[in-house]
Amino acid sequence: MGNIDKRNRLDEAPFGYKVTKNNTILIDYNGRQVKVLKDKDAEKILEKIKIAADEKEVQLILAKITGNFKRGNERNVNSKNM
């Protein structure tokens, strides 16, 4: 995983996921839902998560699925004005 997570952001485990009864996956980033996967997309991701070697690899899978989380411009939840 060498150059993928240069700033070690995935060590903090910012991504989480929940699987519903109908196998829908809800992906969240720092506690906020950012993506919903259903049907075949959800099945593919569950298979990848099952064979992941460790938690950091699961975090990488979730980061790639959510899309625009690789440019370093992500904000910290505490820095947002709510």
pTM (2 d.p.): 0.75
Q: What are the pLDDT tens digits along the chain (82 aa)?
A: 557 777 777 888 899 999 999 999 999 999 999 999 999 999 999 999 999 989 989 999 999 898 866 565 555 655 555 4
- Is the Cβ–Cβ distance between 58 and 48 less than 8 Å? no
Query: What DSSP state is assigned to residue 52?
Result: -
57 phi, psi to nearest 5 deg: -70, -40
| Cross-strand pairs, 15 | 29
